[in-house]
Amino acid sequence: MGFVERLRDAIGAKYVLTGDDMAGYDSDWTGKYRFRPLAVARPASTAEVAAVMRAASEAGVGVVPMAGNTGLMGGTHAEGKLALSLERMNAIRAIRPGARIAIVEAGVVLSQLHEAAEAEGLVFPLTFGAKGSARIGGVLGTNAGGSNVLRYGNTRALCLGIEVVLPSGEVLDTMSELLKDNSGYDLRDLFIGSEGTLGVVTAAVLRLHPKPAAYATGMVAVPDLAGGLDLLNRLQRATGGAVEAFEYMPGHYIDAHLAHDKSARPPFEERHEHNIMVEVGATAPRDATPDEAGEVPIVAHLEGVLGEMIEAGRVLDAVVARSEAQRREIWARREAAAELTFAAGPAIIADVSVPLDRVSDFLDRGYAEVSARDPGARFFVVSHLGDGNVHFTVNPSQDTDKLYDAVMEIVEDIVADLGGSFSAEHGIGLGKRASMARRKDKVALGVMRAIKDALDPQGIMNPGKVLP
């Protein structure tokens, strides 16, 4: 029996796609990475994933796990390989409000989990623009961050346990529901962020949090990024660490959004160069219960802090949402980032992180040094300013590999000098393998290769990704 025939026998013929039926599985979200898989397998259970992996192991066929396929670094490139789609494994097995956990399969769409948690008065706080298509397997594979890392942490901080099918077809069950478990190596964290190069994550136990009873959300214009950091620190002190999102959108970002979306409105009457979206979440009744005048304390608190800073000259302008519709308008502006990034043509995406007080240094040097190398380059920047993650996108004057590498090396040099990382939340995939070779500690790379060889001796799991 041939490999494809064995797959059909294992999971059903209609769930193994070949030829023209693979349309939609032959490109990543960006359109930059196009490929033609050997076949597409769409299993519906952990047992079926295990059967697929056993067949692939015996045949020596490379396997590329595919969740929502919303990545930006070519992590799902599957030329001549088996694309393993987890979209049919989309069950929310349980929401347990008492323990504040959700047990879900890898194909669950992020927004579906948001809705299921909210129905129980809880939140799964991981959020970003692609939440309507990104799936849990993908966010685990890349250790996704998003806009609420400041308060809740990356995906690793939101996961208690996972189920993984190894390259051999064996099932590793670490579906722990425990907050404390010191029984040896933390295998969960080994697979989270490995981008499918060590195994196929099929399910997870995820942490839920109380849903804030009220939000205070606003747009704030500051004179410089130092003023933004001052604002963040003051708000953290004033709210007891309740700042959920602190997102930087420079003037050119606002300009691009207004040009792209004709229904959008500017955040302020005047244009400002440094714009920050801030959101504070209140769970305590004292902060969330409106007073007799209908004033929500957390909103009044935010306005009070902003008013003091305006008087001190540390804030230039501020607008605070007074309705859910206004809050959603503010979030829509930020969540348009991915769409706007690719609207301007070929893009070099540098997804980096630096210490919070070095973001301004990074941007000043990045603009200057990239412009010196490519005077025709244009920039598009947005930042999770509260955690030091900058999405520094360059639209180069020429779409060439040589210029791509040159720009990436310039960015890497600046980041290294500032004590940062060349990869913050998008992962490595294909797009940053050269960066890994240039910048990752050689001993660390050796340890990674040893782990890869031990778990995947045939090298069939997402081959060619992450490791240079």
Question: 259 exposed, middle or buried (CB, 10 Å; 0-12, 13-18, 19+)?
Answer: exposed
Confidence of residue 1 (pLDDT cuts 50, 70, 90): low
CB atoms within 10 A of CB 419: 10
Does 466 reside within a domain? no
Residue range 88-99, pLDDT digits in tens:
999 999 999 999
Are residues 394 and 293 part of one domain?
Answer: no
Contact predicate 19/37, CB 8 Å: no
- Looking at residues 311-336, what average pLDDT do you find? 95
Q: Of 37, 65, 87, which closes a domain?
A: 87
User: 302 or 341, which is more confident?
Assistant: 302
Q: CA-to-CA distance for 181 and 455, rounded, in angstroms?
A: 23
Residue 121's region, left for phi above 0, alpha for psi from -120 to 50, else beta, is left
CATH number of the CATH domain containing 103: 3.30.465.10
Residue type present at position 259: A
Are residues 351 and 447 part of one domain?
Answer: yes
Does 465 reside within a domain? no
**For the chain, first and last CA: distance in Å?**
35
- Looking at residues 275-290, what average pLDDT do you find? 94
Does 167 reside within a domain? yes
Range of the domain at 64: 3-87
Are residues 354 and 318 part of one domain?
Answer: no
Q: Of 72, 87, 102, which closes a domain?
A: 87
Does 464 reside within a domain? no
Are residues 203 and 282 part of one domain?
Answer: no
Q: CA-to-CA distance for 160 and 45, rounded, in angstroms?
A: 21
- Looking at residues 108-114, what average pLDDT do you find? 97
| Average pLDDT over the chain, rounded to an integer | 95
CATH number of the CATH domain containing 22: 3.30.43.10
CATH number of the CATH domain containing 301: 3.30.70.2190
Domains of the chain: total: 4
Q: Of 32, 54, 87, which closes a domain?
A: 87
- Looking at residues 438-462, what average pLDDT do you find? 97
Are residues 173 and 267 part of one domain?
Answer: no
Are residues 136 and 201 part of one domain?
Answer: yes
Are residues 403 and 315 part of one domain?
Answer: no
Query: The pTM is what?
Result: 0.92
Any bridge partners for residue 65, and if so which? 84
Contact predicate 114/126, CB 8 Å: no
Confidence of residue 141 (pLDDT cuts 50, 70, 90): very high
- Looking at residues 417-424, what average pLDDT do you find? 95
Whole-number percent of the chain with pLDDT over 70: 100
Are residues 410 and 358 part of one domain?
Answer: yes
Are residues 171 and 81 part of one domain?
Answer: no
Q: Which two tokens stand for residue 194?
A: 């490995």
- Looking at residues 190-218, what average pLDDT do you find? 97
Does 413 reside within a domain? yes
- Looking at residues 378-389, what average pLDDT do you find? 95
CATH number of the CATH domain containing 365: 3.30.70.2740
- Looking at residues 213-239, what average pLDDT do you find? 94
Are residues 60 and 135 part of one domain?
Answer: no
Are residues 373 and 319 part of one domain?
Answer: no
Does 424 reside within a domain? yes
Are residues 112 and 23 part of one domain?
Answer: no
Residue range 24-39, pLDDT digits in tens:
999 888 788 899 999 9
Does 461 reside within a domain? no
- Specify the DSSP element, H or E, that contains 149: helix 149-152
Contact predicate 124/206, CB 8 Å: yes
Does 237 reside within a domain? yes
- Specify the DSSP element, H or E, that contains 373: helix 359-373
